[in-house]
């Protein structure tokens, strides 16, 4: 049966903006300063989809409060100054959704100002009016609060929402909230995204088409959009 949805919710980093390579480089550098190597497993567990403070607690629990604060300040500065490009196909995809028209939102662990800055950089800021950022929740992903908060904002049942996520923590958050997820990932991350509950995984938005009022992915799956 074709799945039906009334809203699409996007994560930001790794879904709308191609920021993950720079994020990995930043946290890897700090790990080396603290005497360890940041593995792929640690990156997927504690970096992708997490707030800066959560990443610090997960990776650097053994260091002093002063050093944690230094990393936190550096992390926020890094977030504000990075200049990533958009994920392949994202602008075309979002613009296509606005022509239906269709409810969209952004649920991110990032701060509001940075999110707007990144959306403007990709050229899609004007297409969004619904946001959930780090300022709006007390618990970040993988807790379901960000996506439950989004469902409240758009006045829809979570089951009516389709989410695009690239991080295990984000998939866990959306699934726990009662939403369904299409993962954005590569061959390395695909298996974990599926194990965490993603319906399927695509590499980017060139692998999904809007045909009338439905989505079709390169995997041959269909999703009906009911605005």
Interval 23-52: pLDDT, tens: 889 999 999 999 999 998 898 889 887 888
| Alpha-carbon 170 to chain mean position | 6
Rg (the chain; Cα; Å): 17
The tens digit of pLDDT for each residue in 94-142 reads 999 999 989 999 999 999 999 999 999 999 999 999 999 998 999 999 9
- The chain-wide mean pLDDT, for the chain, equals 94
Q: Using the predicted structure, report yes or no on whether residue 1 has a pLDDT greater than 60.
A: no
pLDDT at 120 (0 to 100) = 95
Does residue 36 contact residue 46 with C-beta atoms inside 8 Å? Answer: no
List domains and CATH numbers for the chain: 3-18+84-225 (3.40.50.1000), 20-81 (no CATH)
The residues, ordered by sequence, that sit 6+ positions from 171 with a Cβ below 8 Å of its Cβ are 163, 165, 181, 183, 193, 196, 197, 198
Angle, helices 112-122 vs 65-81, to 10°: value is 30
**Distance between terminal CA atoms of the chain?**
19
């Amino acid at each position: 049966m074709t799945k039906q949805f009334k809203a699409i919710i996007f994560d930001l980093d790794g879904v709308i903006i191609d920021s993950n390579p720079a994020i990995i480089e930043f946290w890897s550098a700090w790990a080396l300063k603290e005497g360890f190597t940041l593995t792929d497993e640690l990156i997927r567990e504690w970096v992708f989809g997490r707030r800066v403070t959560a990443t610090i607690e997960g990776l650097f629990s053994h260091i002093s409060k002063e050093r944690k604060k230094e990393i936190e300040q550096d992390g926020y500065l890094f977030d504000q100054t990075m200049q990533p490009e958009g994920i392949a196909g994202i602008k075309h995809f979002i613009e296509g959704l606005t022509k239906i028209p269709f409810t969209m939102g952004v649920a991110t662990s990032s701060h509001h100002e940075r999110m707007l800055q990144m959306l403007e950089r990709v050229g899609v800021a004007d297409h969004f009016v619904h946001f959930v950022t780090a300022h709006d929740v007390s618990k970040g992903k993988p807790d379901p609060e960000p996506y439950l908060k989004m469902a409240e904002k758009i006045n829809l049942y979570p089951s009516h929402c389709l989410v695009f996520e690239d991080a295990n923590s984000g998939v866990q958050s959306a699934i726990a909230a009662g939403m369904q997820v299409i993962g954005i990932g590569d061959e390395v991350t695909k298996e974990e995204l599926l194990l965490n509950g993603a319906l399927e995984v695509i590499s980017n938005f060139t692998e999904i088409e809007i045909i009338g009022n439905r989505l079709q992915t390169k995997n041959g799956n269909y999703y009906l959009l009911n605005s």
